[in-house]
Chain A
Amino acid sequence: MLTQIAYALPFLAQGFALTLWVSLLVVVFSLIAGVIMGVGLVYGPVPLQWAVRIFSDTIRGIPILVLIFFVYYGLPAVGLHLPSFWAAVLALTLFKTAQVVEYFRGAVGSIPKGQSEAAMAIGLTFRQRLAYVIFPQAFRRFLPPWINGVTDAVKGSALVSLLGITDLMQAINQVIGRTYEAMPLYILGALIYFAVNYALSLASRRLERRFSFIRE
């Protein structure tokens, strides 16, 4: 049993690398898209606010799995042919973007109105107010939940195994298909996912404590 698993380790490592790569792409893309949409939600004109609200509520209201199938099978049906890897990244990015929008809204919303008014009173432009007053303060409230939310990207990435992408989850299933060592391999996989996500949630908690001084 152990020799079989040892033999499979390089293959599992490749799968793990793909899991990390998918997660990283999703985290970066969703951060950019989420912050842009978040600005639209908080400061944009009303129609834009509505559009972002509908996007976010719809995405957060359906299971990620449905979103993944919708993007993966739906895009080719309307004539958009993406490689399955990018379809998976797109679907997970949509899911994660909706989360980032909410973290952003929560963080910016928690900054007292007086800050914005004071910045306006000393004559800062809209961009200056965001860059020098709002964002530096909101950042500390955005960071801990956002880091904790990265675990959702890592966990969600396990669903791309259903699209025939050889991430860690799929690699584990394939090794089980060859060796029939189901339980040891699932436990090994669980421990790998656990190690990554637990480290992230510890980092989040530590940051939260560190930034807690600005709460009052």
Chain B
Amino acid sequence: MGYALNFNLIWRHFDKLWGGLLLSLELAVISIAIGTVIGLVLAVWYVSAGRIVRTIIAAYVEFIRNVPLILLVYLVFYGLPTVVDIAYSAPTSFVVTLSLYSGAYLVEVFRSGLEAVPRGQLDAGKAIGLTPWQRLLNVRLPTMLRITLPALSNTFISLFKDTSVASVISVPELTYGAQWINFNTFRIVEVYLVVTAMYLVTGYILLFALRLVERRFRAAR
């Protein structure tokens, strides 16, 4: 049972973990940005669309949400290039996957937020003569964002954790760095302790930052 902790080798290869963490964050930020655009556009479209468009958007959302992310990652990286004439690097392919994935989760967040905007606000906007476009940009979206911020923070943080799946197609992010050190130094317990701490600390910093944003906007209510 005796296992002596020895972190020396972890610190010697710490650049693998640090660089990995930065890449994880980069993958998360880019994918979440694209996913947010997908989510916003589809959510706004959904609440004003007819039956057919709604069904298509709902099908996209339900499909993505009910399939394991690892399968989607394989499908986009190994499967798609066999039927469509595209070639991309593993990180790009993962960003494509995580963007579509986050888009599906964010549509749901934004849609429920849009539906929670009180009817009176929209009527008031109409009464003071705002155009439909102005009502959307100046009334509906700002109110929706305030309502959805807490759910949005949770989704963002969980998407950051999902970047770990990129390691299965050898994208050198944090989990991949952990595996590299695991296989090359066998300081197994140490490396996963350090990586656990890195994910936790990054997650809490993200949470703290998002809570600050939430508080700022809540005060404006």
> Hey, which bits of chain A sit against chain B, CB under 8 A?
58, 61-66, 69-70, 73-74, 77-79, 151, 154-159, 161-162, 169, 172-173, 176, 180, 182-183, 186-187, 189-190, 193-194, 197-198, 201
How far is B115's CA from A144's CA once the two chains are assembled, in angstroms?
Answer: 22
Interface centre among A62, A158, A176, A194 (most CB of B within 10 A): A62
Shortest Cβ gap from B212 to chain A (Å) = 19
Interface centre among A156, A180, A183, A198 (most CB of B within 10 A): A183
Contact call A198/B182, Cβ cutoff below 8 A: no
Given A65-B167, A162-B168, A182-B78, answer yes or no on A73-B63 (Cβ-Cβ < 8 Å).
Answer: no
| Minimum distance in angstroms from B24 CB to a CB of chain A | 9
Cβ distance A204 to chain B, nearest Cβ, rounded Å: 12
Q: Which secondary structure dominates chain A's binding surface?
A: helix
Bound: A189/B1 CA distance, A: 41
- Collect the chain B residues with CB atoms within 8 Å of residue A197's CB: 65-67
Contact of A66 among B79, B80, B178 (CB under 8 A): B178
CB distance from A200 to the nearest CB of B (A): 8
Q: What 1/0 mask marks residues of chain B from 66 to 93 whose CB sits below 8 Å from any chain A CB? A: 1111111011001110110000000000
In the bound complex, do residue B70 and residue A62 qualify as a contact, i.e. CB atoms below 8 Å apart? Answer: no
In Å, the complex CA distance between A6 and B168 comes to 28
Q: How far is the CB of B206 from chain A (nearest CB, A)?
A: 11
A–B pairs, 26, beta carbons within 8 Å: A61-B200, A62-B161, A62-B195, A62-B200, A63-B165, A63-B175, A64-B164, A66-B178, A66-B199, A70-B192, A70-B196, A77-B186, A79-B1, A79-B3, A155-B67, A155-B69, A157-B68, A159-B165, A169-B68, A182-B82, A183-B75, A186-B71, A186-B79, A187-B79, A193-B67, A201-B65
Number of interface residues of B (CB under 8 A): 41
Q: Is the CB of A183 within 8 A of B200?
A: no
Q: Which of A58, A159, A176, A187 sits near B78, CB closer than 8 Å?
A: A176
Chain B hits for A186, CB < 8 A: 71, 74-75, 78-79
Chain A residues with CB below 8 A from B203, complex form? 61
Min C-beta distance of A76 to chain B, whole Å: 8
A193 to B74, CA, bound (A): 14
Q: What's the minimum C-beta distance from A124 to chain B, rounded to whole angstroms?
A: 36
Check A183 against B68 for contact (C-beta < 8 Å): no
The 5 closest A-B pairs by CB, nearest first: A63-B164, A158-B68, A197-B66, A70-B192, A186-B75
Query: Contacts A61-B204, A63-B161: A193 and B199 contacting too (C-beta < 8 A)?
Result: no
Candidates B2, B75, B80, B192; contact of A190 at CB < 8 Å: B75
Whether B200 and A58, one on each chain, are in contact in the complex, defined by CB atoms closer than 8 angstroms, is yes
A198 to B69, CA, bound (A): 15
Report the minimum CB–CB distance from A79 to chain B (whole Å): 5
